């Protein structure tokens, strides 16, 4: 049984259909990249899974339990942790408060504290300024903060929306380095929306290409053909769709 399974997901914003029947699955321990051009619906996909938008049709299951249309806090408490686009730190709260917020749903306080210390080890620059307001951090540091914060919830699956957005390439390298270190240390299952398919291919795992609300290509990163990827990404093969009424 896959850890996360999405079947025929349809999401509409008013008269606009953002997702037109998307199906995918993520196995435990694997990393799935969802890439695609702007406006393809990648963020919408993550938001639907997280419970921030309600799907019009389709089913979403986490560890076998149906979570379609749940409130965000219910899905979060079932083990799904989302790092949304644009980092979304709580600017007025301190770093430590940001991190501690995620621990709210854990039963074991001692374990949560141990987790916190361990994350400080992985991200020493966060520990240095643990009592400073999170709004003062640089973009890269904020990205690391929100990843650490997501991990504080002891999730089964971590979804990250555009971790590289607005960051310099060197910083993106650092972020991914730490992310992958955490992945191997904790055996994380990751669902990453990444506009740069290059970065996805570099990191390895599986990739699904979303275009205009549909998955047009799917496969293991190292097995995908570069040219097929390019054609799918830019829609060279896509049938011309009639203009919507």
Q: Considering the complex, what minimum distance in angstroms separates the CB of residue 58 from another protein?
A: 20
User: Alpha-carbon dihedral of residues 194, 198, 200, 204, nearest 10 degrees?
Assistant: 180
| Cα angle value 185/190/195 (rounded, 5°) | 125
For another protein, the closer of residues 159 and 216 by Cβ is 159
Burial 162-174 (b: 16+ CB within 10 A, else e): bbbbebeeebbeb
Q: Considering the complex, what minimum distance in angstroms separates the CB of residue 1 from another protein?
A: 24
Q: Considering the complex, what minimum distance in angstroms separates the CB of residue 123 from another protein?
A: 18
CB 154 within 8 A of CB 109: no
For another protein, the closer of residues 24 and 151 by Cβ is 151
Rg for the chain (alpha carbons), in Å? 18
For another protein, the closer of residues 79 and 205 by Cβ is 79
Contacting residues toward another protein, per CB under 8 A: 50, 52, 71-73, 76-77, 81-82, 84, 88, 90-93, 97, 100-102, 104-105, 135, 149-150, 153
For another protein, the closer of residues 92 and 117 by Cβ is 92
Q: Considering the complex, what minimum distance in angstroms separates the CB of residue 186 from another protein?
A: 18
Distances from the Cα of 46 to the Cαs of 188, 205, 243, in angstroms? 17, 18, 27
């Amino acid at each position: 049984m896959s850890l996360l399974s999405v079947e025929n997901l349809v999401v509409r914003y008013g008269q606009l259909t953002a997702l037109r029947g998307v199906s995918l699955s993520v196995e435990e321990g694997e990393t799935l990249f969802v890439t695609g051009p702007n406006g393809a619906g990648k963020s919408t996909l993550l938001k639907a899974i997280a419970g921030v938008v309600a799907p019009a049709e389709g089913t979403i299951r986490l560890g076998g339990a149906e979570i379609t249309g749940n409130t965000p806090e219910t899905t979060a408490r079932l083990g799904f942790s989302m790092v949304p686009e644009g980092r979304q730190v709580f600017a007025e709260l301190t770093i430590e408060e940001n991190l501690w917020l995620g621990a709210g749903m854990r039963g074991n306080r001692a374990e949560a504290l141990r987790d916190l210390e361990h994350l400080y080890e992985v991200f020493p620059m966060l520990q240095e300024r643990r009592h400073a307001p999170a709004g003062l951090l640089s973009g890269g540091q904020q990205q690391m903060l929100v990843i650490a914060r997501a991990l504080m919830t002891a999730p089964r699956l971590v979804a990250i929306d555009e971790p590289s957005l607005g960051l310099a390439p060197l910083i993106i390298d650092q972020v991914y380095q730490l992310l992958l270190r955490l992945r191997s240390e904790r055996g994380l299952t990751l669902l990453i929306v990444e506009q740069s398919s290059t970065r996805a291919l570099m990191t390895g795992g599986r990739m699904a290409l979303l275009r205009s609300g549909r998955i047009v290509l799917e496969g293991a990163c190292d097995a995908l053909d570069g040219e097929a990827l390019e054609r799918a990404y830019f829609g060279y093969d896509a049938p011309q769709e009639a203009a919507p009424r």
